[in-house]
Structure formats: C-alpha cells, structure tokens
C-alpha cells in the first residue's frame, strides 16, 4: 500500500441553528442559519452570497480560489522523503471583498446604507489533516511526535496549501483527475519544466498528453539542476545555461532565446543557423577568452539567422566587413571588442541596427570617416565604455559621424582634450540628441569651461555634474 499524506478541505455550512460548542484544545464551533441571496460576478466566474438570518447585516461569500505563484514551489518533505509539487491558493482577495461590497450597496442599499455598515466574510471551513502512521523513520518520528489527540477545528482561512505527492499514483488519479486542463496549464506556468516533467510524467496517459502539448517553455540549466531534458527539448523556446558542464544544444530545435553563460567552445560551435532557424535573441558570455568561430560571426551578420534581433557577445575580436555581410534583421547589439575599427564595420553590415553598446578593451586604432558625407545610419541609441582609457577623443569624434541620428548617447572614457571641445562636436554632429549620459574624466588643460556654461548649451546637459580632483582633472557625470 502506498503511503499518503493529504489535506482534505471540507466546506461545512449547515442551515440549522445550534448552540456554541466547545472542543478540546480551545477550539470552538458554531452553526449559523443562512439564506442564499444572490451571486456576485467576479473575474471569469462568480461567488454565492449568503445572509445571516439571525443578524441580517452579516453576509458570507463562497471562496474564489486563485493560484498564488509566489508561494508555489517544489520541495522535499522531510517527513515523507517525497518530492512535493505544491501550490498556494488564495481563497479570496481584497478585490473580491470590494466586489461583494459593491454588490451589497446596489442590491441591499436600504440595509447597508451609510448609517448601518454590513459585515462580510468568507464561509467558515473545516480543515482536517490525515497522516498515515508508520511512514517516517524512528528518528524523524521522534522529532515530530505528538502526545495528544487531534481534533478538527473550525477556522477562517484566507489561503491554503495543496501538496501534490507525485509518487502515489492512486492518490493523484483520485484527487487530480477532477481538475480541468486549463487549471493545470495555469499551474504549470509557475514551475520549471523539469520539475513538472519529473513530477507528473508517467502518472497516466492524460498527464503525458498534457505535458506533450506544452509549448514555448522556458528552461534554466544550472549546476544544481542537471536533470535529463532531451525528452522535452523540442518544447523549449527560451533556454538559459549557466554551468561549466557540457550541454548538447542539438536537441533544442525551436529556440527563440538562447543565453549561454560560462560558454565553452563546444557549445558555441553548436550554434548554427540551420539548427536554430527561429533564433531571435542570442547571448554568449565566456568566463575565459574564447574567439567566436568565423562561421558563427558570418551567420550572425549576414542574415544566416533570418529572425535574429538581439545579440549580446562578450567578445568579438575579429570582424572583416565584405559585400556578403548584411544583416537586415538585427536591431540591438552589445559587444566587447579590442579593435575600434570593428565599430564602423558593424554599422555598415547592420543598416537597421537601432541600439549599439560597446565595451572596449585594446589599443586605439585610427578610424577613417565615412566615405560619403551624407552617411545616414538609422542608429538611435549608442553606448561606448572605455574602462582602460585607451580611446582618443579624435577616434570618438569620428565615430560620431557614423551615428548622425542618435537620440541617446552614453560615453565613458578619458577625455584628453578640453571637455567643451567634445560637447561642441556632439552638438554639431548629433542634431537629434535627446538624452546624454556620461562618466568622463577630463585631463587638466587651459580651457576648462565651468559646468554651468555647459549645462545651458542643451537641455540634455542641464543636470550635468562636475567633480574637481586635487590633481587638476575633472570628472563629469550625468545619469
């Protein structure tokens, strides 16, 4: 016989009057005579409303269960040793009580007027806990041994927990088969797909069919949850991997989002456009320096991934623009690079790029200005971070020629020329600028204009801050 542990909830509401009865352990019980006085529509359903015949201004409403995702989780029960899938259900909310109050004001306006307040509460419910003896080991049993009898007690509940024990097929078949498919689909949204599969797969054919019908599922693979996943890989469309353990990506054929953290060479080489043709969002982050395969770079920037919109590459060391490089889908790009010439080459290869963020590690390289003075890239947001202060102000001013339509600009670098010169270049070359953010160090020079003058030059600079250092340098901040 399989061991079970169940919580049975019984609505106990009798329409007869009896005296107040005292139970052991300071528990009380009372029965109240009521009349059903209507139904209140709420959310996608309704609740019944009862009136206390002994006290007409007292009303009761039936529960309206709603899943509470913040308290829903999988955990190990120390008492049974089983893994439990549990979800919390709120029996009523403040919005429901407000709906009931509005109903009373409309239909019982004389009784529930401003001079006489009506009281509402949820129906009383009895909670009975059943525990099968002989399940726990002696040590655990001693820790939780109860030396007195248990009695059911009448309580008012605002929320309850439903534990679901997945190793008892009989119990699941008896108590869960009454739930609709729609309810299960809603419950599944709050759990990791691996927890769902390992909890429900194999109970019966209905649950197998339910799980196989799930689509567009997220999956996070970390060191602590390296469970088999190949059986559900085709149902995953958002995959995040944060582990140093090798992962076979060839199983995931329907990915829309792929995030690789601590990626290794083997995983990166598995990212191929013929295997992941639906990829929209790609993030590759490596703990150590790993050069991206040239084939992958080609596929990203030449429309090999025809739906790819958002890319985050923590290293892009090599990029050689040619006529075959043309990505018409890429809208957002974040890279770390060591060669400043990569920046204009990417802009040429991605004519519809809207957001471009660069973190620069390397030596400054001379950049040629656009071949045409009427160069008109559509880029709207541009961020450039130079934490090691390698880029020159001349290089940055040439880069501004490639982004004439930028509305948002964020610069973090060391300015070795007067800061006012940089500001004037920005205003001359970025006529559509709406927002400017910066963390710029200005080297000591003979043309240090006070910050108040710069603040008045454009609305984007009005909150610019200036910190003067002891060595004569200044730091300009704007967030």
Helix axes 393-401, 419-429, angle to 10 degrees: 10
Q: Would the pLDDT of 35 be above 90?
A: no
What does the pLDDT look like over 226-252, one tens digit per residue? 556 667 788 889 999 888 888 888 888
The residue with greater pLDDT, 177 or 205, is 205
The residue with greater pLDDT, 68 or 340, is 340
For the segment 95-121, the average pLDDT, to the nearest whole number, is 82
Q: How far apart are CA 124 and CA 57, in angstroms?
A: 17
Q: Which CA distances in Å does 261 have to 252, 282, 350, 381?
A: 17, 11, 25, 25
For the segment 139-154, the average pLDDT, to the nearest whole number, is 46
For the segment 58-78, the average pLDDT, to the nearest whole number, is 73
Per-residue DSSP letters for 311-328? EEES--------TT---S
Domain segments of the chain as ranges: 5-165, 214-478
CB 448 within 8 A of CB 469: no
Q: What is the pLDDT of residue 401?
A: 95
What does the pLDDT look like over 157-189, one tens digit per residue? 344 444 444 444 444 444 566 677 888 888 787
Q: How far apart are CA 225 and CA 247, in angstroms?
A: 12
Q: Which CA distances in Å does 347 have to 357, 363, 395, 401, 433?
A: 12, 20, 15, 11, 19
Q: Which of 44-58, 112-126, 315-329, 333-347 has the lowest mean pLDDT?
A: 112-126
Residue with tokens 């913040």: 70
214-478 has which CATH code? 3.80.10.10
Tokens for 60, please give them: 């009761």
Q: What is the pLDDT of residue 72?
A: 63
pTM reported for the whole predicted model: 0.63
Please give the share of the chain, as a percent, with pLDDT higher than 90.
36
What does the pLDDT look like over 384-393, one tens digit per residue? 999 999 999 9
């Amino acid at each position: 016989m399989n061991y079970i542990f169940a919580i049975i909830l019984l609505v106990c509401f009798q329409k007869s009057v009896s005296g107040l009865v005292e139970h052991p352990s300071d528990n009380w019980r009372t029965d109240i005579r009521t009349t059903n006085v209507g139904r209140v529509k709420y959310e996608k359903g309704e609740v019944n409303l009862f009136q206390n015949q002994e006290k007409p201004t007292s009303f009761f409403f039936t529960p309206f269960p709603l899943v509470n995702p913040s308290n829903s989780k999988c955990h190990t029960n120390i008492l049974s040793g089983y893994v439990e899938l549990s979800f919390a259900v709120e029996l009523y909310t403040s919005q429901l009580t407000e709906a009931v109050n509005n109903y009373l004001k409309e239909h019982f306006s004389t009784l529930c007027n401003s001079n006489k307040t009506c009281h509402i509460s949820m129906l009383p419910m009895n909670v009975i806990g059943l525990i099968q003896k002989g399940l726990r080991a002696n040590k655990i049993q001693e820790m939780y041994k109860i030396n007195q009898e248990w009695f059911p007690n009448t309580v008012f509940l605002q929320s309850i927990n439903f534990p679901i024990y997945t190793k008892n097929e009989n119990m699941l078949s008896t108590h869960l088969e009454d739930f609709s498919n729609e309810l299960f689909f809603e419950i599944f949204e709050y759990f990791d797909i691996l927890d769902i599969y390992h909890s429900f797969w194999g109970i019966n054919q209905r649950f197998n069919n339910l799980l196989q019908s799930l689509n567009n599922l997220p999956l996070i693979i970390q060191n602590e949850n390296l469970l088999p996943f190949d059986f559900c890989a085709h149902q995953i469309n958002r995959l995040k991997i944060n582990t140093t353990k090798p992962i076979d990506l060839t199983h995931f054929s329907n990915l829309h989002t792929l995030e690789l953290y601590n990626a290794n060479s083997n995983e990166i080489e598995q990212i191929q456009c013929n295997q992941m043709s639906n990829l929209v969002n790609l993030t590759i982050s490596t703990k150590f320096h790993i050069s991206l395969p040239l084939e992958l770079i080609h596929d990203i920037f030449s429309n090999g991934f025809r739906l790819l919109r958002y890319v985050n590459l923590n290293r892009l060391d090599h990029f050689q623009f040619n006529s075959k490089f043309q990505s018409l889908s890429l809208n957002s790009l974040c890279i770390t690079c060591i060669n400043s010439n990569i920046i204009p080459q990417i802009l040429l290869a991605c004519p519809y790029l809207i957001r471009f963020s660069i973190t620069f590690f390397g030596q400054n390289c001379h950049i040629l200005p656009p071949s045409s003075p009427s160069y008109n890239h559509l880029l709207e947001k541009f961020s450039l971070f130079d934490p090691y202060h390698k880029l020159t102000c001349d290089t940055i001013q040439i880069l501004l020629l490639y982004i004439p339509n930028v509305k948002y600009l964020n610069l973090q670098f060391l300015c070795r020329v007067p800061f006012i010169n940089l500001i004037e270049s920005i205003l001359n070359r970025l006529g559509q600028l709406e927002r400017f953010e910066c963390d710029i160090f200005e080297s000591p020079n003979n043309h240090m204009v006070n910050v108040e003058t710069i603040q008045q030059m454009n609305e984007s600079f009005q909150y610019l801050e200036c910190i003067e250092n002891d060595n004569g340098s200044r730091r300009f901040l704007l967030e």
